[in-house]
Amino acid sequence: MIIALSLLIGCIAEEEPAPHIPRFQDLSFSADSYVDILDRNASLDGAVEESSGGSPIDFTTANEAFMLTIGSAEIQAIDDAVDPVDEDYSSVVAGAGAALAVDLTLLSRLGAMRNTMGTLKDIAVNDNGTFAWTGSRAVTNDEGYTVTAELNQHWVGTGWIFEVLQTSDTGLYDSEIWFNGFYRADGQLGWVDYYRSGTVMVTMEWLGDRGDGIVELYWVVGDDKEDRIRYYWTADGELLAEWADEQPPPNEPSYTQAQVEVDGSGYAVIPGYNSSSAVCWGADLKNVDC
């Protein structure tokens, strides 16, 4: 009888643990020192972990920084009306190319995270306790492995604490933090920290949205340590895309940069082009002295 009972107990499947509910203690505040856009503690004013109400994040209208779909399309389009081989417009053409280079750098480094956010917006979201939700999807992570990405969201009254955990069948990842952060309810403020092996690898903060906002990313560790990418857009039409590529001391960072003023004039810097010095164009898009 004892043997039979033991066999019966052994056949009962172990109950899977409930999905994790992200909380304030899971957020990184030390990474706040690398980007000056937000004070993370102040950004959480009014937020409480046991808040009632709320609903999952609406990914269809989510902030482009949160979705990592930020880019410099407006700057790249500024040379559309000119002849790209006309030397009178070489500076504005260079500016469009510089902006594209910034986008491609970001995509090459965080493309897997961007693709994951695009995939997770279509998942079924299930209740996970009180005012928390979870969902998952198989994706390819930034190290090239197939993982199950689990998106957990927790409404805290003013917005959501969110996280994406990764798990693999091989055991290489076991609910390991991939990225997390805070997303305010109106989408106009937030941050994301991207992790590698439990350490913040890249941190991003934003304020506002495309058309009138600023986004900045900083590489905390790894081969790209101390690199910085920044975008901003103003309501009256000023634009910037910038990548500061950190160099070994005592060298200054190498800049790839394009800025457009309200009247359409602007400047660009591209490493190796024009001896890495700025080139400028006027409101008519023709070359001018800087």
β-bridge pairing 239-245 and 266-269: unpaired
Cβ neighbors of 211 (< 8 A, separation 6 or more) are 233, 235
- Cβ pair 239, 233 in contact under 8 A: yes
CA separation, residue 224 to residues 30, 105, 244 (Å): 19, 11, 10
Q: Which residues of 126-163 are buried (b: 16+ CB within 10 A; e: fewer)?
A: eebeebbbbbbbebebbeeeebebbbbbbbbbbbbbbb
Q: pTM value?
A: 0.92
Name the token pair of 269.
């810097």
Which pLDDT belongs to residue 53? Answer: 82
Which pLDDT belongs to residue 51? Answer: 81
Name the token pair of 15.
């109950």
pLDDT, tens digit, 9 for 90 and up, residues 32-77: 999 999 999 999 999 999 887 889 999 999 999 999 999 999 999 9
Low-confidence ranges of the chain (pLDDT < 50): 1-13
Greatest pairwise CA separation for the chain in angstroms: 94
Residue 165 CB burial class (10 angstroms; 0-12, 13-18, ≥19): buried
- Cβ pair 201, 109 in contact under 8 A: no
Amino acid letter for position 117: M
**DSSP letter string over 168-188?**
-TTSS-SSEEEEEEEEETTSS
C-alpha to C-alpha distance for 278 and 263, rounded to whole angstroms: 19
At residue 241, the 3 state secondary structure works out as strand
Which pLDDT belongs to residue 200? Answer: 97
Name the token pair of 63.
């902030």
Q: Which residues of 90-117 are buried (b: 16+ CB within 10 A; e: fewer)?
A: bbbbbbbbbbbbbbebbeebbebbbbbb
CA separation, residue 27 to residues 41, 139, 189, 241 (Å): 11, 23, 15, 28
CA separation, residue 195 to residues 14, 74, 157 (Å): 30, 30, 26
pLDDT, tens digit, 9 for 90 and up, residues 206-229: 999 988 999 999 999 999 999 999
Which pLDDT belongs to residue 130? Answer: 78
Length of the chain in terms of residues written: 290
